[in-house]
């Protein structure tokens, strides 16, 4: 199991969760942040600091955002598990689900 970042993060990208993550598993995409599921240790430190309540434990992900679990996992299909977001910096791409969304207010 892992934590998942969902729709409320799109076009917001507040970085408070990154500052709290003890294992550096939250990566910066073009329009939102993504949690690398193999690197996440399920500590939950990121969830309470998210100002838009976009982070959910996988089992608690609202039904309307279930596709965000797949988007978070598939985002890393080419990148794999690099061992920390700081090593790779911002990734100037998004999963196709996120890239296709209209701009969020």
Average pLDDT of span 92-102: 96
- Judge whether residue 105 has pLDDT over 90: no
Q: What is the pLDDT of residues 18-76, one digit of tens each?
A: 999 999 999 999 999 999 999 999 999 999 999 999 999 999 999 999 999 999 999 99
Q: How far is CA 82 from the centre of its chain?
A: 15
Which DSSP string corresponds to 16-77?
HHHHH-TT--EEE-SSSEEE-TTT-----SSGGG-TT--EEEGGG--GGGTHHHHHHHHHTT
- Please report the pLDDT score of residue 104 as a whole number: 84
Topology, domain 3-99: Alpha-Beta Plaits (3.30.70)
Q: How confident is the model at residue 9 (pLDDT cuts 50, 70, 90)?
A: very high
* Token pair listed for 81: 């598990």
- Please report the pLDDT score of residue 89 as a whole number: 95
Give the three-class secondary structure for 5: strand
Extents of the domains making up the chain: 3-99
CB atoms inside a 10 Å sphere around CB 29: 22
Average pLDDT of span 87-98: 96
């Amino acid at each position: 199991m892992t934590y998942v970042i969902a729709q409320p993060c799109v076009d917001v990208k507040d970085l408070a969760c990154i500052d709290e993550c003890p294992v550096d598993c939250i990566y910066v995409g073009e329009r939102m942040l993504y949690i690398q599921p193999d690197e996440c240790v399920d500590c939950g430190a990121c969830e309470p600091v998210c100002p838009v309540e976009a982070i959910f434990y996988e089992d608690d992900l609202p039904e309307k955002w279930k596709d965000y679990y797949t988007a978070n996992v598939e985002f890393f299909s080419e990148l794999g598990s690099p061992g920390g977001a700081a090593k790779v910096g911002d990734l100037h791409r998004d999963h196709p689900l996120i890239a296709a969304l209209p701009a969020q207010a």
